[in-house]
Structure 1
Amino acid sequence: MHIASDDDKKSAVSTSPSLCNNSVTPCASYDVLLQHMIPLTPHMTPTKWSSLLRKYDTEQKGGLNEAQWCLLIKEQGILIGNTVGTVVDFGRIAEVPSGMGAPINLRRRKSIAEIVIEFLEGFIAGGLAGAVSKSIIAPADRVKIIFQVDPSRAFSLRNAIGLSQSMVKEGGVLSLWKGNGATMMRVVPYASITFMSFEHYHTALKVVFVVDDEEGGSKTRAVSARFVSGALAGATATAFTYPLDLMRARFAAGTAGTSPSYMIAFRDVIRTQGVTSLYSGLVPTLLGIMPYAGSSFACFETIKFYLVRWQQLEDDKAIPPWQRIVAGGFSGLVAQSFTYPLDIVRRRLQVQPHRYRGIAHALTEIYRNEGIVNGLYKGLTMNWIKGPIAVATSFTINDIVKTRIRQYHKKADEAARDKNGRPTTWFAESALCGAAAGAVAKFWTAPFDRMKIVYQVGQQAADDMTFGRHARSIMSEFNSDAHMWQGSGAMIMRVVPYAAITYACFDNLQPWSQRVTYSHSPCFASNFVAGATAATIATGLLYPLDMMHTRTAASPVKLYDSYYLGMREVFRSRGVFALWEGAGASIVGIGPMAGLGFALYEDFKQRFDCDGPVKRLVAGAAAGAIAQAVTYPFNVVRRRAQVDTIIQEGFVRSMKNIYNSQGFYSGLYQRMPFGWTMGAMTVGISFSINDFCKDSIVRAKKEIRETASIPSFSQFRGGSSAEAGVSGGSGFGG
Structure 2
Amino acid sequence: MSPAAEPLRDEGTRTQVVVAGAVAGLVSRFCIAPLDVVKIRLQLQYHSLVDPLSVAASFRRKPLGVIEVARDILRHEGITGFWKGNIPAEGLYLSYGAAQFLAYRSTTQALDALTEDEHGKQRWHVPGTAKSFIAGAVAGTAATTVTYPLDLLRTRFAAQGTEKVYESLIASIRDIKRNEGMGGYFRGLGAGVGQIVPYMGLFFASYEGLKPALADVQLPFGSGDAIAGISASIFSKTVVFPLDTVRKRLQVQGPTRQKYVGGHKTPVYDRGVFGTLTMIVRKEGTMGLYRGLSVSLVKAAPASAITMWTYERALDALKRIQEEDG
Question: If the length of structure 1 is used for normalisation, what is the TM-score?
Answer: 0.37
Decide whether the 8 Å contact of 1:125 with 1:401 is kept in 2: yes
Over 3 Å counting, the alpha-carbon distance change for 1:349 and 1:209 in structure 2 is farther
* Equivalence map 1:327-366=2 (5 Å): 327-352=228-253, 354-366=268-280
**Which one of the candidate residues 167, 171, 179 is aligned to 2:85?**
179
Matches within 5 A, 1:293-308: 293-308=200-215
2:224 alignment partner in structure 1: 323
Q: Give the structure, 1 or 2, with the largest relative contact order (CA under 8 Å, sep 6 or more).
A: 2
The structure-2 alpha-carbon separation of the partners of 1:268 and 1:147, relative to structure 1 and needing over 3 Å to count, comes to same
Cα deviation 1:17-62 (Å, max 9, x = unaligned): xxxxxxxxxxxxxxxxxxxxxxxxx3269xxxxxxxxxxxxxxxxx
Q: Match for 2:185: what amino acid?
A: L
Task: Tell me the SS of whatever aligns to 2:270.
Answer: coil
Structure 1 runs (4+) deviating above 6 angstroms are: none
CA contact (8 A) 2:42 2:69 kept: no
* 1:196 Cα offset (Å): 1.4
Of residues 195, 199, 207, the one that matches 1:292 is: 199
1:277 counterpart = 2:184: yes
Q: Could you tell me how far apart the structure 1 residues matched to 2:253 and 2:301 are?
A: 28
Whole-angstrom CA distance in 2 between matches of 1:209 and 1:291: 23
Distance 2:285 2:223 in 1: 38
Structure 2 residue matching 1:206: 3-state secondary structure = helix
Q: 1:160 is aligned with what amino acid? A: V
* Distance in 2 (alpha carbons) for counterparts of 1:355 and 1:201: 35
Q: Whole-Å Cα distance in 2 between the matches of residues 183 and 404 of structure 1?
A: 26
> Is the CA contact (8 Å cut-off) linking 1:209 and 1:224 kept in structure 2?
no
- Counterpart Cα distance in 2 of 1:396 and 1:390: 10
Native 8 Å contact 1:206 1:220 kept in 2: no
1:131, 1:44 → 2: CA distance?
27
Aligned length: 291
2:312 corresponding residue in structure 1: 399
Distance 1:43 1:160 in 2: 43
- TM-score with structure 2 length normalisation? 0.81
Whether the aligned pair in 1 keeps the contact of 2:192 and 2:243 (CA below 8 Å) is yes
* % identity of equivalent residues: 30
Distance 1:239 1:195 in 2: 15
Alpha carbons 1:209, 1:225 under 8 Å: kept = no
Does the aligned pair in 2 maintain the 1:209–1:221 contact within 8 Å? no
Matched, 1:142 2:49: no
Code of the residue aligned with 1:378 in structure 2: it is R
Tell me the amino acid that sits aligned with residue 132 of structure 1: V
Q: Distance in 2 between matches of 1:399 and 1:135?
A: 18
* Separation of aligned partners in 1, 2:83 and 2:42: 16
- How far does residue 120 in structure 1 lie from its aligned partner after superposition? 4.6
Q: Does 1:233 align with 2:146?
A: no
Secondary structure in 2 matching 1:335:
helix
- Cα distance in 2 for residues equivalent to 1:209 and 1:335: 27
- Max Rg structure: 1
Q: What does 1:158-173 correspond to in 2, within 5 Å?
A: 159-173=65-79
The superposition leaves residues 78-127 of structure 1 with CA deviations (integer Å, 9 ceiling, x where unpaired) of x9x9x79xxxxxxxxxxxxxxxxxxxxxxxxxxxxxxxx95553332111
- Unaligned 5+ residue runs, structure 2? 48-57, 117-121, 255-267
The 3 A distance-change label for structure 1 pair 119 and 265 is farther
Deviation at 1:357, TM superposition (A): 1.1
1:410 aligns with 2:323: yes
In structure 2, do the counterparts of structure 1 residues 204 and 320 end up closer, same or farther at CA, with 3 Å as the change threshold? farther
Q: Report the residue type matching 1:371 in the other structure.
A: G
Distance 2:253 2:296 in 1: 21
1:257 Cα offset (Å): 4.2
What is the deviation of 1:224?
0.8
TM-superposed deviation, 1:337 = 0.5
Q: 1:339 to 1:208 in 2, by over 3 A?
A: farther
**Inter-partner Cα distance in structure 2 for 1:328 and 1:246:** 26
Matched, 1:43 2:2: yes
What is the one-letter code of the residue matched to 1:402? Answer: L
What is the CA–CA distance in structure 1 between the aligned matches of 2:106 and 2:204, rounded to whole Å?
14
The alpha carbon displacement at 1:206 in A equals 2.8
Deviations 1:583-621 (CA, angstroms, capped at 9, x unpaired): xxxxxxxxxxxxxxxxxxxxxxxxxxxxxxxxxxxxxxx
Amino acid at match of 2:36: D
Residues in 2 aligned to 1:203 and 1:320: alpha-carbon distance in whole angstroms: 30
CA change 1:320–1:345 in 2 (3 A) is: same
The 5 Å alignment of 1:100-179 reads: 120-152=15-47, 159-179=65-85
Note the residue ranges of structure 1 that are not aligned, 5 or more in a row: 1-41, 46-78, 85-116, 211-215, 417-704, 706-734
Gap change, CA 1:302 and 1:241, over 3 Å in 2: same
CA distance in 2, matches of 1:359, 1:158: 25
Contact 1:307 1:319 in 2 (8 A): no
The aligned amino acid for 1:263 is I
Equivalent AA in structure 1 for residue 18 of structure 2: F
Q: Which one-letter code corresponds to 1:226 in the other structure?
A: S
Structure-1 separation of matches of 2:167 and 2:87: 11
Please give the secondary structure, in 2, of the residue aligned with 1:202. helix
Tell me the alpha carbon deviations over residues 413-446 of structure 1, each in whole angstroms, 9 at most, x when there is no partner: xxx4xxxxxxxxxxxxxxxxxxxxxxxxxxxxxx
CA contact (8 A) 1:145 1:252 kept: yes
Is the contact made by 2:214 and 2:225 (CA closer than 8 Å) also made in structure 1?
Answer: no
In 2, the alpha carbon distance for the partners of 1:199 and 1:149 equals 35
Closer, same or farther: CA 258–356 of 1 in aligned 2, 3 Å: closer
Cα drift, residue 145 of structure 1: 0.6
SS for the counterpart of 2:271 is coil
Q: Residues 319, 167 of structure 1: CA spacing in aligned structure 2 closer, same or farther, 3 A cutoff?
A: closer
Q: Which residue is equivalent to 2:259?
A: none
8 Å contact from structure 2 (residues 152, 185) kept in 1:
yes
Q: CA RMSD in A?
A: 3.1
Report the AA paired with residue 370 of structure 1: E
Q: In the alignment, is the contact (CA less than 8 A) between 2:149 and 2:186 conserved in 1?
A: yes
Instruction: State yes or no: 1:384 paired with 2:297.
Output: yes
